[in-house]
Amino acid sequence: MNLYEHTIIARQDTTPAQIKNIKEKYSKIIEQNKGDLVQTQDWGLLNLSYLIKKNKKGNYIHFKIKGDGILIKELEKNERIDKNLLRFVTIKVKKFDLKENYFSKEEKDIEKKNKVKNINEK
């Protein structure tokens, strides 16, 4: 089995209920094609580098998947016809980094608080 990191960008006006449905839909596709969903991360609403279909922001969802190429083809085939999605990308990796969540808002808030404390102590 190969290891893949797969990121989906949904439209900025997608509701939380629709995001939950998108996660469930693609999780089911992964399971139906004999894949193993290792981790799912909801990165939230982030700015895009450039306009995509008149959207300045997008809701990012990240999957870490164990599976084969057929699974990825089926996943991407379904994503191409989904009107709620702006973009998607799949990257084959050698191992997963399950410890870090690079886009977690909680971690960023903690870092900001620590910086403020360090400045105030000086």
pLDDT recorded at residue 17: 92
Domain of residue 116 covers: 2-121
Q: What is the pLDDT of residues 14-70, one digit of tens each?
A: 899 999 999 999 999 999 999 889 888 888 899 999 998 899 999 999 999 999 989
CATH classification of the domain holding 77: 3.30.70.60
- Predicted structure pTM score: 0.78
Q: Which helix (H) or strand (E) holds 87?
A: strand 85-93
Which of 15-19, 93-97, 105-109 has the lowest average pLDDT?
Answer: 105-109
Residue 78 pLDDT level (bands cut at 50, 70, 90): very high
State how many domains the chain has: 1
Q: Both tokens of residue 2?
A: 């190969």
